[in-house]
């Protein structure tokens, strides 16, 4: 009976994790969200009769709330967790269409956005891992995954001049280092830490393009052209369902024994991001 803790299951890729993992009734799936009543309602309406789902409340910037979620989770599972999937993240729209030098024209907003991204995506992951580590160490499978992004690959950024989303990408690069540092400490205990990019996934962020400002549309189309140069077969984003299926397959096949400890991989299990 594998047990999973997944953050950010209210929507997007996180919802697809909740749906796919709970489709196996032998899995225990604990989803952590900011708005528990709304997610409980969505589960009741769309995932009826899945008694293997429990939704807990925590904002990733609230240490005490994550601690409470860890305590509540232990009561459900008997004190051990097999998998953690740190999926929740602030996906900033503020830095989505500009390079870092351009954003410098708004230093106060830049500072605020940077703190928001680092607090949620990086520090939130650190607190989540530390608070759940006693349960992971008692688990059988011991796999801890953070959903990263290919946007944090410095070779991709340099080779294709991917200047957009600089603050978001920096938060994901930091998350990759977090994975490596946890691996360095806990590999000897048989805990697998991975950073996995889910691919370019349509969760509503790209469908807004038709209503975006002309300069935002131009910036996004420019980035898509670069992605096409990187991968000529690229035809656009995949669905959350396709992404999660691929990511779960990578999680299943990777292990500390096979040398994957601390790795940063795509949903293909490689360094090909799209
Ligand atoms: N979509 C892509 O193409 C893509 C590509 C690369 C990486 N990713 C990564 O995939 C993961 C899922 O993203 P997504 O595409 O599904 O985006 P999304 O639709 O914007 O979902 C983000 C999720 O994170 C939650 N969240 C945000 N801030 C939070 C906080 N402070 N505390 C707790 N939960 C918080 C949101 O909850 P609320 O509903 O409460 O806001 C939501 O469930 C993220 O780590 C993202 O960086 C996505």
Q: What is the pLDDT of residues 70-92, one digit of tens each?
A: 999 999 999 999 999 999 999 99
**In the structure encoding, which two tokens stand for residue 126, read together?**
């650190």
- Measured CA to CA, the distance from residue 10 to residue 107 in angstroms comes to 32
**In the structure encoding, which two tokens stand for residue 201, read together?**
């996934």
DSSP per-residue letters across 231-256: -TT--SPBPHHHHHHHHHHHHHH--T
Using N-to-C axis directions, what is the helix angle for 124-138 and 166-186, rounded to 10°? Answer: 30
- Measured CA to CA, the distance from residue 250 to residue 240 in angstroms comes to 15
- Is residue 255 scored above 80 in pLDDT? yes
Active site residue 36: no
Query: Tell me, what's the pLDDT at 204?
Result: 86
Sequence ranges of the domains in the chain: 3-265
**In the structure encoding, which two tokens stand for residue 250, read together?**
């990578």
Atom 7 of ligand 1: nearest residue by CA position:
149
- Is residue 206 scored above 80 in pLDDT? no
66 vs 221: which has the higher pLDDT: 66
Nearest to residue 136, comparing CAs of 90, 88, 86, 190?
A: 190
The total number of residues written for the chain in this structure: 274
Nearest to residue 195, comparing CAs of 171, 179, 183?
A: 179
- Is residue 211 scored above 90 in pLDDT? no
Q: Which of 33-37, 111-115, 145-149, 219-223 has the lowest mean pLDDT?
A: 219-223
Residue 214's Cα: distance from chain center in Å? 29
Q: Is 193 helix (H, G, I), strand (E, B) or coil?
A: strand
Atom index in ligand 1 nearest the CA of residue 14 equals 16
Mutation test residue for ligand 1: of 5, 7, 68, 89, the one with most atoms within 8 Å of CB: 89
- Is residue 209 scored above 90 in pLDDT? no
Atom 28 of ligand 1: nearest residue by CA position:
90
Q: What is the mean pLDDT of the chain?
A: 96
Of the candidates 172, 182, 260, 264, the residue annotated as catalytic is 172
Q: Which of 10-24, 198-212, 254-268 has the lowest mean pLDDT?
A: 198-212
- Measured CA to CA, the distance from residue 225 to residue 121 in angstroms comes to 28
Number of CB atoms found within 10 A of residue 187's CB: 14
Percent of the chain with pLDDT over 90: 93
Atom 6 of ligand 1: nearest residue by CA position:
149
Which bin fits 83, alpha (ψ -120 to 50), beta or left (φ > 0)? beta
User: How far is the centre of ligand 1, averaged over its atoms, from the C-alpha of 168 (Å)?
Assistant: 12
Residues with a CB atom less than 6 Å from ligand 1: 8, 10-14, 33-35, 59-61, 87-91, 120, 147, 149, 197-198, 200-201, 203
Query: Tell me, what's the pLDDT at 239?
Result: 97
What's the whole-number mean pLDDT along residues 104-111? 98
Query: Tell me, what's the pLDDT at 43?
Result: 98
User: How far is the centre of ligand 1, averaged over its atoms, from the C-alpha of 146 (Å)?
Assistant: 12
User: How far is the centre of ligand 1, averaged over its atoms, from the C-alpha of 107 (Å)?
Assistant: 25
Using N-to-C axis directions, what is the helix angle for 63-77 and 124-138, rounded to 10°? Answer: 20
Atom index in ligand 1 nearest the CA of residue 147 equals 45
Active site residue 172: yes
User: How far is the centre of ligand 1, averaged over its atoms, from the C-alpha of 247 (Å)?
Assistant: 15
User: How far is the centre of ligand 1, averaged over its atoms, from the C-alpha of 23 (Å)?
Assistant: 21
179-204, pLDDT tens digit by residue?
A: 999 999 999 999 999 999 999 999 98
Annotation: CATH topology of 3-265: Rossmann fold (3.40.50)
pLDDT band with cut points at 50, 70 and 90 for residue 205:
confident
Give the dihedral of Cα atoms 124, 66, 129, 153; nearest 10 deg.
-30
């Amino acid at each position: 009976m594998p047990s999973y803790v997944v953050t950010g299951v209210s929507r997007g890729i996180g919802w697809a994790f909740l749906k796919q993992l709970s489709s196996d009734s032998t899995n225990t799936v604990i989803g952590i969200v900011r708005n528990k009543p709304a997610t409980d309602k969505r589960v009741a309406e769309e995932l009826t009769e899945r008694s293997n789902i429990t939704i807990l409340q925590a904002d990733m910037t609230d240490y005490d709330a994550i601690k409470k979620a860890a305590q509540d989770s232990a009561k459900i599972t008997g004190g051990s967790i097999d998998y953690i999937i740190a999926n929740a993240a602030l996906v900033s729209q503020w830095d989505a269409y500009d390079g870092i030098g351009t954003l410098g024209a708004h230093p106060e907003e830049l500072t605020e956005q940077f703190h928001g991204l680092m607090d949620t995506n990086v520090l939130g992951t650190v607190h989540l891992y530390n608070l759940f580590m006693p349960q992971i160490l008692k688990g059988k499978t011991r796999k801890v995954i953070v959903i990263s992004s290919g946007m944090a690959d410095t070779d991709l950024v340099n080779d294709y001049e991917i200047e957009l989303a600089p603050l978001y990408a920096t938060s994901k690069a930091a998350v990759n280092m977090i994975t490596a540092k946890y691996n360095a400490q806990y590999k000897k205990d048989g805990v697998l830490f991975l950073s996995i990019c889910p691919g370019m996934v349509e969760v509503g962020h790209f469908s807004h393009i038709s209503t975006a400002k002309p300069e935002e549309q131009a910036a996004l189309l420019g980035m898509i052209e670069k992605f096409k140069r990187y991968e000529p077969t690229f035809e656009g984003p995949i669905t959350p369902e396709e992404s999660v299926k691929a990511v779960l397959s990578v999680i299943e096949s990777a292990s500390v024994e096979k040398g994957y400890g601390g790795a940063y991989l795509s949903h293909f299990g490689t360094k090909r991001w799209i």
